[in-house]
A and B are shown apart, each in its own frame.
Chain A
Amino acid sequence: MSIDAPVVTPTAATLRARAAVAQARAFAEADERALDGLVSVRPRSAVPRPQPVWDDAEVLVHEPVGERYRRLVLASNTIAATAQAGQFLMITVPPHGGDTILLPRPMAIHRRRPATTDHPGTVELIYGVVGRGTRALAAVPVGGTLQVTGPLGRGFGFPPGTRSALLIGRGVGVCGVMGAAEDAAAAGIRTTMVLSGQHPDQLLGRSDCAELGVQVIGATDDDGSSDLTFLATRLRGHFDGTTPERTPPGVIMVCGAGVLARLAAELGAHWGVPVQASLEAHMACGLGYCHGCAAPVRTDPSVEGPLVCADGPVFDAAIPVV
């Protein structure tokens, strides 16, 4: 097109697409800003070092969940037996339709079910089909195998004596905190979970919460209940201390958005309780040696900041003291 070509009026579709891109970009930038100064590496003594293996895991279940997500249940005795809440796997995606996916994809372990006499140990993952890698992954049939490495990273840990917990997840970020709900259920910790998402039918984790005895607070963009100010007010009211059930939680764990991590840190400061936030990042190795997944934390230029895979994905989150 020459520079003096006639001005073309963009179509409505073009304008909508541009607006969506601009909105997504603004959201991503706000989300990253929200993490600024918020997270720090959890003390090494509080978190066991991961002991990963790799395995050729049979696909036992691979099915759609709503319109956006897919559920993947993989058989791996070792990983199911050793995975801790908040840890993740690297999934190596097999070639599909002539497309080869080079880098494995990091995915949170949503559920762990150790082996029984009748069934192999399994891990359950839920992912959104968003790009080349997840499109190719979606084509893997039940009965096929996937090469997986894990469990990886440093996960959530309940402080000693925790009696109640607030978990917050948005989108597939719900999977990041569901392992903590499993641990809480096993330990008799009273748990409330915020399930946040765009539409009510996209909220993941309802059935898991029902199974684990977790009280659910739904928050959607559709009805405005996921709005941060609205949600903060609602949670403060929910835990206003007026009855034993409404005693503020002893710990907050969050995954799925930087802005929610900041909200959790604000609530934690308000109630005087610790907050742990799980972060996401593009990764290549998942073990720490490629240094690809720097956490969005500002440091002295001569010092490398934390890596999401090896120092996280779960970090302590606290409002910086100014």
Chain B
Amino acid sequence: MVALLDGTAHPDARAAFFAAASDDLAATALSAVDMSVRIGSLTLNAPVMPASGCFGPDLGALIPVGELGATVTKTVFGSARGGNPVHRLTEVPAGMVNSVGIPSHGPAGYLATLHPRYAALDAPTIISVGGHRIGEYAPVVAALGEHGAAYELNVSCPNLDRDGTDIGSDPAAIREVVAAVRLVTGKPLIVKLPVLVASIAACALAAEEAGADAVCVANSIPAMPLDAQTRRPILGNVIGGLSGPSIKPIVLRLVWLASRAVQIPVIACGGIETVDDALDYFSVGASAVQVGTASFGRPFAAVEIVRGLRRRSLDAGVGSIRELLDLDAPR
């Protein structure tokens, strides 16, 4: 029956979800399980955050953002851009293909319009920064200055002007981008790597050696959906990036390979919908996860994962996710 008719205190499920936060976050639970993760000088209270492009400050009204480790902004580019033509996304079995084209107001526009709304949320803001040339990243980070709690360098959004190849597939280019950005900021740097690379280990290592504090593995996979009836491209831009549960096994492999190659934390991003998806990634070496496509249908998905990790740890009588994984380790 409808909860409303039963006279429950909450007018809707959202209100009940917020209320559950205060119950669940009761001091005992919060202190009993340490879910914090360090990205350079930044400590996140939980190892879960949204994926860039899959979060907006509007969600502050729908979910208790303070339970997330951080928020991550849509990628900010150096100059204003309008994004791609209409028909920007479509659903395919077990996935979504998007070619939004990352509309951006540029750093000044971001700081004037969006950033105050991110800053008002109860979680550190990781600002995603993009560029289509190696030299484009550092000026954007410099312009954003102290406003980002950390910066995520998006070297992996498919450069659709060049058939989906990107800066992030070239370890030498990654090295140059990170080194240049390192010169203009002391904030933690995360490098978000693409899927289509010859060696994810070499790319992650290049980021680490150039001064990155973490790598994020990975991004959507270049794809091309056709209309089944017309056999014409569905997307206005013809090609886009595939995300969602279908890419999880592909990204699991990449996270496993990257984790073996570097000492810095690996943040996993690819088809994470549930606490078990997150644990899968933690078990192959990830230190944190990003939730993207799942949030569209279930805006609370990332918060549910945080709560699920804490609940599983409490139920198992352990104080950290690492201990939780040890319990599950093959005998």
Chain A contacts to B: CB under 8 angstroms: 21, 24-25, 32, 51-56, 58, 75-79, 92-93, 99-104, 115, 120, 132-133, 147, 149, 281-282, 284-285, 287-296, 299-305
Which of these, B56, B85, B296, contacts A288 with CB under 8 Å? B56
A149 and B299 contact, Cβ closer than 8 Å, known pairs A55-B13, A102-B293, A282-B87: yes
A284 touches B83 (CB 8 A): no
Number of B residues near A (Cβ < 8 Å) is: 52
Interface status of B42 (Cβ within 8 A of chain A) = no
Interface status of B132 (Cβ within 8 A of chain A) = no
Report the bound CA distance from A300 to B81 in whole Å: 9
Which of these, A77, A104, A301, contacts B82 with CB under 8 Å? A301
Interface status of B64 (Cβ within 8 A of chain A) = no
The 8 A CB mask of B69-97 against A (1 = contact, 0 = none) is: 00000100001111111111111011110
Report the bound CA distance from A25 to B232 in whole Å: 10
Which of these, A25, A53, A56, A284, contacts B98 with CB under 8 Å? A284
Interface status of B58 (Cβ within 8 A of chain A) = yes
B15 touches A299 (CB 8 A): no
In the assembled complex, the CB of A184 is this many whole angstroms from the nearest CB of chain B, namely 28
Report the bound CA distance from A304 to B2 in whole Å: 41
A-B CB pair tally, cutoff 8 Å: 141
Residues of the A chain whose Cβ atoms lie less than 8 Å from the Cβ of B5: 120
Report the bound CA distance from A241 to B13 in whole Å: 51
Residues of the A chain whose Cβ atoms lie less than 8 Å from the Cβ of B91: 101-103, 132-133
User: Which interface residue of A25, A79, A287 has the most chain B CB atoms within 10 A?
Assistant: A287
In the assembled complex, the CB of A234 is this many whole angstroms from the nearest CB of chain B, namely 32
Interface status of B54 (Cβ within 8 A of chain A) = yes
Residues of the A chain whose Cβ atoms lie less than 8 Å from the Cβ of B293: 102, 284
* A-B contact list, 5 entries, CB within 8 Å: A92-B297, A284-B89, A284-B96, A292-B88, A303-B82
Chain B contacts to A: CB under 8 angstroms: 1-5, 11-15, 53-59, 61-62, 74, 79-91, 93-96, 98, 100, 103, 229-230, 244-245, 293-300
Report the bound CA distance from A27 to B6 in whole Å: 49
Report the bound CA distance from A313 to B37 in whole Å: 41
Report the bound CA distance from A127 to B90 in whole Å: 19
A54 touches B86 (CB 8 A): no
A282 and B12 contact, Cβ closer than 8 Å, known pairs A102-B96, A102-B296, A302-B79: no
Residues of the B chain whose Cβ atoms lie less than 8 Å from the Cβ of A288: 56, 58
A120 touches B2 (CB 8 A): yes
Report the bound CA distance from A23 to B86 in whole Å: 21
B245 touches A299 (CB 8 A): no
In the assembled complex, the CB of A157 is this many whole angstroms from the nearest CB of chain B, namely 21
Report the bound CA distance from A282 to B296 in whole Å: 13
**Closest B residue by C-beta to A81:** B11
Residues of the B chain whose Cβ atoms lie less than 8 Å from the Cβ of A284: 89, 96, 98, 293, 296
Residues of the B chain whose Cβ atoms lie less than 8 Å from the Cβ of A285: 54, 56, 295-296
Residues of the A chain whose Cβ atoms lie less than 8 Å from the Cβ of B15: 53, 78
**Closest B residue by C-beta to A292:** B89
Residues of the B chain whose Cβ atoms lie less than 8 Å from the Cβ of A281: 86
Report the bound CA distance from A77 to B58 in whole Å: 22
Residues of the A chain whose Cβ atoms lie less than 8 Å from the Cβ of B298: 92, 147
A103 and B12 contact, Cβ closer than 8 Å, known pairs A149-B62, A294-B83, A302-B79: no
A120 touches B88 (CB 8 A): no
**Closest B residue by C-beta to A53:** B14
B98 touches A75 (CB 8 A): no
B61 touches A304 (CB 8 A): no
Residues of the B chain whose Cβ atoms lie less than 8 Å from the Cβ of A149: 62, 299
Residues of the B chain whose Cβ atoms lie less than 8 Å from the Cβ of A290: 53-54, 56, 89, 98, 100, 296
Residues of the B chain whose Cβ atoms lie less than 8 Å from the Cβ of A93: 297
Residues of the B chain whose Cβ atoms lie less than 8 Å from the Cβ of A54: 12-14, 62, 299-300
